[in-house]
Structure 1
Amino acid sequence: MNGHTTYTSAGSGETIVFLHGFCESKEVWTNFTKPLQQKFRTIALDLPGFGENTQGIADYSMEGMADYVKAKLEELNVKKCILVGHSMGGYVSMAFAEKYSSMLSGLCLFHSSALPDTDEKKDNRNKTIEFVEKHGVEKFMQSFIEPLFYSENRDKLKKEIALMKKIGVSTPKESVTGGLAAMRDRPDRTHVLAAAKFPVLFIFGKEDGAVPLDKALEQCHLPDNSMVYFLGKTGHMGMFERTYETRKALEKFAETIYG
């Protein structure tokens, strides 16, 4: 490990890079990535505005975050990698794939999507921005985190839900509102999936309110080479709800690419 707090890097071998979702941090990947480090180098980044990466952020757009990821990977001497993006991290991954596809050996959309927000979802983002401006981040987190987990999993994942809330409440208000606006304004990137020269792994939860099944089915056939994993009794947080299965799927995907 290193002294830099905005990323972690461990293990050796070919590189898998992990991007967290909205109001999350690199911490969500800590336990998930440990077993992978026996075969691969794993890097988890704090995206601009989140985790410990909250100083002087001017650009919360998915493209701006993708530029940040590219600069960070160059700094870490990563020429090519598999990029794993959870939720908002997947939107950043899609922007990255559009701009810097030559750096990708593979891409995993982990409870994420290449589709833009629907009008209804845009409207909800605006209402959430208003709510956060008015009531603050802590109040927002009280209702935001639990529904990300499938109802039947919440009791046994109290510790993980508490971790998510802890990360969430420490997120600056401008990062929350900036992130919401950036997600609202992101374009349709299904054409990037259709043009992908690298394999794509999709991981979906069947009970995920954020990425409904019909939206999942709309895009998973687009790449030339894709693997798709649908998980029953799983919401939006597969790294906690189905740690073993999602990690194994990712490991198999990486081994298929890296041999």
Structure 2
Amino acid sequence: MTNQPVRLFYRERGQGKPMILIHGFPLDHSIWDAVAEDLSKKARVITPDLRGYGKSPKPEGEYTMRMMADDLIALLDQLGIDKAIMVGHSMGGYITLALAKAYPQRLSGIGFVATQAAADLPERRQARLILVDEIKRKGAQAVVHANLKKYSRNAEVLKYTQELMLKAQPHVLMACLRGMADREDMTDFLKEIAVPSVVIAGEQDDLIPLERTREMVERLQRGWLVTVPNAGHMPMMESPQQVTSALIELLQQT
């Protein structure tokens, strides 16, 4: 078990203002490939694998949102980046909020994609902990069974998402579920975020209700909402051009 930052695997494309695209649970950097390719014509785009995923180290022990934020700060330090635009998808959004609270001086802008600031309601927290027990018995297949259909209504996106879910190691899945269940409520913190912040929401997201994203925008000092029609929880794969456009607008505001 280690609380030290781990050295994350990442891909880098383009040049200009640095923008870090952070994947959600239980995926990897490749969900951003289409967006990153287009964005790299305008910015320096970095897509890391979070601890536990893809080609990054997979330590045992807890994976808190703050710990994963510390990993990203270590990556910025490694790359000589003082300030970056952080774009977090789902769990990546929770990590971005933890980073914004601990390291506000390292941010020049934020993108929140299919995520929320509120902590888990008791029944959602309980569902995560039940899923931890299921993973002990069935491995990654338990996550596919519990969550896959909620990620998208697009068959190709679901197929790819399932492949990524099944690659995830059980100890990592359990550590992240516990970390998300225990994360703090960041709703009140939103009003302290002073940098430009775009909130991108799929209109058909079955995991994050649209009202949650609207609440975020209302509290952010410099926030605006982009809703993506015909997209669920994976708008960067379902409608990459729309997500790219929204992030280019964010880039222009920073």
State the TM bucket, normalised to the shorter chain.
over 0.9
- Structure-2 residue corresponding to 1:192: 189
Report the CA distance between 1:211 and its aligned residue.
Answer: 1.0
Contact in 2 for aligned 1:114/1:219 (Cα 8 Å): yes
Q: Which runs of 5+ in 1 are unaligned?
A: none
Report the CA distance between 1:52 and its aligned residue.
Answer: 1.4
Alignment of 1:224 with 2:221, yes or no, is: yes
Alignment of 1:171 with 2:168, yes or no, is: yes
Tell me how far apart the structure 1 counterparts of residues 165 and 193 of structure 2 sit (CA, whole Å). Answer: 33
Contact in 2 for aligned 1:59/1:65 (Cα 8 Å): no
Contact in 1 for aligned 2:61/2:175 (Cα 8 Å): no
Contact in 1 for aligned 2:58/2:172 (Cα 8 Å): no
Q: Which runs of 5+ in 2 are unaligned?
A: 1-6
TM-score by length of 2: 0.93
Report the CA distance between 1:56 and its aligned residue.
Answer: 2.5
Contact in 2 for aligned 1:97/1:192 (Cα 8 Å): no
Tell me how far apart the structure 2 counterparts of residues 5 and 92 of structure 1 sit (CA, whole Å). Answer: 15
Report the CA distance between 1:32 and its aligned residue.
Answer: 1.6
Residue by residue over 1:157-210, the C-alpha shift from the partner in whole angstroms, topping out at 9 and shown as x without a partner, is: x2x322222221111100101100100000011232101111111011122121
C-alpha change, 1:167 and 1:249, in structure 2 (3 Å) is same
Contact in 1 for aligned 2:86/2:96 (Cα 8 Å): yes
- Structure-1 residue corresponding to 2:251: 254
TM-score by length of 1: 0.91
Contact in 1 for aligned 2:203/2:231 (Cα 8 Å): yes
4+ residue segments displaced more than 3 Å: none
Question: Percent identity of the aligned residues?
Answer: 26
Aligned-residue Cα RMSD (Å) equals: 1.6
Q: Which of 182, 186, 192 in structure 1 is aligned with 2:179?
A: 182
Q: Which of 34, 39, 44 in structure 1 is aligned with 2:42?
A: 39
Contact in 1 for aligned 2:24/2:89 (Cα 8 Å): yes
- Structure-1 residue corresponding to 2:199: 202
Tell me how far apart the structure 2 counterparts of residues 245 and 41 of structure 1 sit (CA, whole Å). Answer: 19
The alignment covers a number of residue pairs equal to 248
Tell me how far apart the structure 2 counterparts of residues 5 and 103 of structure 1 sit (CA, whole Å). Answer: 18
Q: Counterpart amino acid of 2:215? A: E
- Structure-2 residue corresponding to 1:162: 159
